[in-house]
Chains A and B, each alone.
Chain A
Amino acid sequence: AQTVTQSQPEMSVQEAETVTLSCTYDTSESDYYLFWYKQPPSRQMILVIRQEAYKQQNATENRFSVNFQKAAKSFSLKISDSQLGDAAMYFCAYRSITQGNYKLTFGKGTLLTVNP
């Protein structure tokens, strides 16, 4: 079974600065998807960014980018030019591509605080 570990329960960053959230995972599969989800205090979880394991190029979405190290099974999220609206719980998630077993396995999350 796959596991996802987020070793930073809480992080804080000053507005306009850069912060990196860590995620490691354990799997025996060679192909899979990785995701970062954001859950603001209102509780509606939204997708931030996704990475296909077979792609060597790191995914980017505006101010959000990932550092995907497949051999190290590491998948960190970098938020540049942090904004107050980035404050939320961030979850790293793994998704197998095994047919019929596409469930998301989440880490425990990292609570990000953005200081003005």
Chain B
Amino acid sequence: EAGVAQSPRYKIIEKRQSVAFWCNPISGHATLYWYQQILGQGPKLLIQFQNNGVVDDSQLPKDRFSAERLKGVDSTLKIQPAKLEDSAVYLCASSWKGLVQETQYFGPGTRLLVL
């Protein structure tokens, strides 16, 4: 079974530029999560999708971050414009139905450096 795929693996941009990350969850998984992991901290949930609908985006900085999952499969996370404090690893995860006891499967992450 293929795991969660993410691209790119690394990205370096200058502040005020825009950047987009892509995630392809495990086949059949209805729930998709985007996390931000700042160095030295645990992951923080940015947004959760159930199929193509948003379940929780309470911690997404909506003035600069956006995310979509149009067909209920893969997803993109965009930052525009980027700030220095956005430097982090962005993790995508998926689970089958989003039930509380389910395992979340994580991708390898995209490491973003904003200069």
Q: Which residues of A does B touch, CB under 8 Å?
A: 4, 33, 42-47, 50, 52, 91, 93, 95-97, 100-104, 106-109
What are 5 A-B pairs with beta-carbon distances under 8 A?
A: A45-B93, A100-B55, A103-B48, A103-B56, A109-B41
Task: Contact check, B101 vs A93: say whether CB atoms are below 8 A apart.
Answer: no
Bound form: Cα–Cα A112–B3 in Å: 25
Q: Which residue of B lies closest to A109 (CB)?
A: B42
Q: Chain B: residues with CB nearer than 8 A to chain A?
A: 3, 33, 40-45, 48, 55-56, 89, 91, 93, 98-101, 103-104, 106-109, 111
Verify A107–B42 contact, CB threshold 8 A: yes
Q: Which of B33, B41, B100, B109 contacts A43 (CB 8 A)?
A: B109
User: Are A104 and B40 closer than 8 Å at their CB atoms?
Assistant: no
Q: How far is it, in angstroms, between the C-alpha of A103 and the C-alpha of B100 when the chains are bound?
A: 8
Question: Are A102 and B100 interface neighbours, CB within 8 A?
Answer: yes
List residues of chain B with CB within 8 A of the CB of A4.
42
Q: Is the interface of B mostly helix, strand, loop or mixed?
A: loop
Best-buried of B42, B55, B104, B107 by chain A (most CB within 10 Å): B42
Does B89 lie within 8 Å of A43, measured CB to CB? Answer: yes
Are A45 and B106 also in contact (CB < 8 A) when A108-B42, A109-B42 are? Answer: yes
Cα–Cα, bound, A93→B109 (Å): 18
Supposing A43-B108, A45-B91, A47-B104 touch, asked if A102 and B42 sit within 8 A by C-beta, the answer is: no
The answer to whether B56 touches A106 (Cβ under 8 A) is: no
- CA–CA, A50 and B104, complex, Å: 11
State whether A101 touches B56 (Cβ < 8 A): yes
Knowing that A91-B43, A93-B42, A100-B56 are A-B contacts, what are 11 other residue pairs whose CB atoms are under 8 Å apart, sorted by A's residue number? A33-B100, A43-B89, A43-B109, A45-B93, A50-B101, A97-B100, A102-B99, A104-B45, A104-B104, A108-B42, A109-B41
A100–B3 Cα distance when bound, in Å, is 25
- CB proximity of B15 to chain A, nearest CB, Å: 24
Q: Chain A residues near B43 (CB, 8 Å)?
A: 45, 91, 104, 106
